[in-house]
A and B are shown apart, each in its own frame.
Chain A
Amino acid sequence: MDLAYQILVKPFSDMVSAPDFLMQVLWDGLVSGVLYALIALGFVLIFKSSRIFNFAQGIMVVFAALTLVGFYQAGVPAWLAVLLTLAVMFVLAVAIERVVLRPLVNQPDIILFMATIGITYFLVGFGEFVFGGENKVMITEQLHIPTGTFEFKPFGGFVSISQTDLTAVIGAGILVTVLLVFLSRTKIGRAIRALGDDHQAALSVGISLSMIWVIVWFIAGIIALATGIVWGARAGVSFALEVIAYKALPVLMLGGLESVLGAIVGGLAIGIFEKLFEIYWGQPLLGGNTETWFAFVFALIVLLFRPQGMFGEKIIERV
């Protein structure tokens, strides 16, 4: 009886009795949700256009952030460092397409997935070799990202929102809008979607597979840079960032592998729910640190009811 009370009643009464704390928790969840969504977005773009399950997205985030900080430390002005990093991400996209993807066209999904893990290992080693393994500080101020905090006092309580987080949310919103417009309105965006629907049909109307792949990986690189700046501003730049790539997997599964909207909704949902679960159920009842697995179990439960994710294309199987 007591246990049932602990699980079913107490967390909700806690939420109602301290609404300001609840708001703070929701906001923190939302911010990490935005970051999960950004990483998942990189995954979705690549999966849509090439059916490659790109595990390297997480390390691309780290690599982009490290490159940016590395350029700045070498004495390059901040705005130029951003441009140079974009150039590096473009070179990376071309290299991945040439060296890894082109020889592996038409291989089974699992082989391509493994190849992206190979890319991950390579980039981890390369990044550590060039930039060293120690933590770095993101050049937040030099990029004119405000660093103060807003403080609210709703319901007689206290909620603080850091301006970095707010910038992150707004920036992510703009990025996603631009991306959606790009995908639905421009010629290249349509080509990407066509390629996602049917490779051979797209090739037969003259869409260049290799060019689109470079573009898609480059866009994924841009998203990685944006994610790297935002996450780096919150937690510093280190290879520990890589673990958020694992978080993006349940986000993807929850939203559906093909859906941009799904990546965003899934990211936000997982960010918020895992925070709520951790604070109200995990810490008092389970000894905390439930954030490591909650997202996976949550996605698993949702998948049991909708095997293609919330927004994925319906899976039709034929014999």
Chain B
Amino acid sequence: MLYRTAGQFKTSYEADFALFPVRQDALLLGVILLFAWLIFPLTASDFAFQTLLIPVLIYSLASLGLNLLTGYAGQLSLGTAAFMGVGAYACYKITTIFPGINLLVALALAGFFPAAIGIVFGLPSLRIKGFYLAIATLAAQFFLVWLFEKWAWLYNYNTSGAIQVPNIRMFGVYVAGPQAASITQYYFVLFVVCLITWFSINITRGRIGRIWKAVRDMDIAAELVGINLMRAKLSAFAISSYVAGVSGALFVFLWRGAAEPNLFDVQLSFRILFIAIIGGLGSILGNFLGAILIVALPVVLNWIPGLFGFSIESAVLQHINTMIIGALIIFFLIVEPLGLARLWGIAREKLILWPFPH
């Protein structure tokens, strides 16, 4: 009833390949955007901003970056965190060298550094494939984190070895640093995430996205039909690292406020890979669903024992949480290896037929 597509006729090619050929999809997105832009910010507490809303958006963006590479272009990467780190450190250097710079400009510029490094570490993908390629990205992961620690110029030679986000004003309002309000930070992150998501949706359904998918499905066959493999793979590495780098800069500048090299360790890479896989590889929506699950899960798990009147030691609770997260990952992989986005796809198909299934 609600999702009936009957009667929505397409009379021109433009209408046929519009972003949302089904009217209800556009409506649903409108409702989600309304919630994201108006209802959440008006109702959320500071705690909700800092533990749920902002991290969900930032993790979604990081996962989106990874998904462009792994889900669309088929190149496995275990080094997302390192590229996020490059983005964060680049943004830090840019804002300290040019103190008056607009943060949006700084973010946009900072993304080019991880993109360049992504291309360098993507070069082996022309020769090495599958799991063997994971080693190239792991090399990036461990080498870059080591570099963040040893290259003192990156953190302006301060003694702690960590970077501290300065207070940054944009149009007279603090957007980053200790003085910024959560709600401004949220709007800033939301704006960047919406912009990059819009860009990604269009890039993945356009020419470049189709080239990537062809390479993912079988690269030799793609080469035979005239796709330049080098350009396809390296562009995937570059764009993916750009997005990951911007998300890393957001991660530090608008959420954590400070960063040590260890923040970008391999655990973070795996966490983002989880988000991408549980959400669904090769799907934009999946990144958001996966991020909601992975970010909200520990919060919910912390909250459950209190609900039943138990009081559990926080260390024990931590251990149980790790266990449950591990078990849930396996559970979701077994239930739907293609991810949460696929679950939504199935539900949507059912809704279109409802109430008259075959």
Q: Which residues of A contact B (CB under 8 A)?
A: 53, 99-100, 103-104, 107-111, 113-115, 117-126, 128-129, 133, 246, 249-250, 253, 257, 286-287, 289-290, 292-293, 296-297, 299-300, 303-304, 307-309, 315, 317, 319
Contacts and interface: CB of A to CB of B under 8 A. Distances in A.
Interface-central residue, A120, A122, A123, A286, by most chain B CB under 10 Å: A122
Interface-central residue, A296, A303, A319, by most chain B CB under 10 Å: A296
Contact of B150 (A53, A108, A286, A309): A286
A304 B150 contact: no
Chain A contact residues: over half helix, strand or loop, or mixed? helix
A128 B333 contact: no
Contacts of A122: 322-323, 326-327, 330
B324 to A, nearest CB: 7
Nearest to B270: A117
A289 B262 CA distance: 14
Given A53-B131, A300-B136, A104 B322 contact: no
Given A125-B322, A296-B138, A304-B124, A103 B224 contact: no
Interface string B317-342: 01111111111111001100100000
Given A122-B327, A308-B132, 14 more contacts: A108-B337, A109-B131, A114-B333, A121-B322, A121-B329, A126-B323, A246-B142, A286-B150, A293-B142, A303-B124, A303-B127, A303-B128, A307-B132, A319-B224
A128 B127 CA distance: 41
B320 A129 contact: yes
Contacts of B322: 121-122, 124-125, 128
B130 to A, nearest CB: 7
Contact of B142 (A100, A107, A124, A296): A296
A129 B143 CA distance: 33
14 contacts: A104-B337, A109-B131, A118-B326, A118-B328, A125-B319, A128-B322, A249-B138, A253-B131, A253-B135, A289-B150, A290-B146, A296-B138, A299-B135, A319-B224
A121 B267 CA distance: 11
A246 B328 CA distance: 23
Interface of B: 70, 76, 124, 127-132, 134-136, 138-139, 141-143, 145-146, 149-150, 218, 220-221, 224, 266, 270, 273-274, 277, 281, 315-316, 318-330, 333-334, 337
B329 A117 contact: yes
Nearest to A56: B326
Nearest to A108: B337
A297 B139 contact: yes
A-B pairs with lowest CB-CB distance, top 10: A125-B323, A121-B326, A122-B326, A125-B322, A118-B329, A296-B139, A293-B142, A118-B330, A128-B319, A129-B319
A315 B129 contact: yes
Contact of B139 (A100, A124, A300): A300
Contacts of A299: 135, 139
B333 A104 contact: yes
B221 A129 contact: no
Nearest to A288: B150
Contacts of A303: 124, 127-128, 132, 135-136
A230 B220 CA distance: 45
B330 A249 contact: no
A253 B137 CA distance: 13
A128 B328 CA distance: 18
B131 A257 contact: yes
A307 B329 contact: no
Contact of B135 (A113, A249, A292, A308): A249
Given A121-B323, A303-B132, A114 B273 contact: yes
B57 to A, nearest CB: 23
A319 B337 contact: no
B135 A129 contact: no
A286 B316 CA distance: 41
Given A110-B76, A124-B322, A103 B334 contact: yes
B143 A104 contact: no
A126 B324 CA distance: 9
B225 to A, nearest CB: 10
A289 B316 contact: no
A133 B333 contact: no
Contacts of A99: 330
Contacts of A121: 322-323, 325-326, 329
A117 B139 CA distance: 19
Contacts of A293: 139, 142-143, 146
A114 B138 contact: no
B329 A115 contact: yes
A300 B121 CA distance: 10
B320 A125 contact: yes
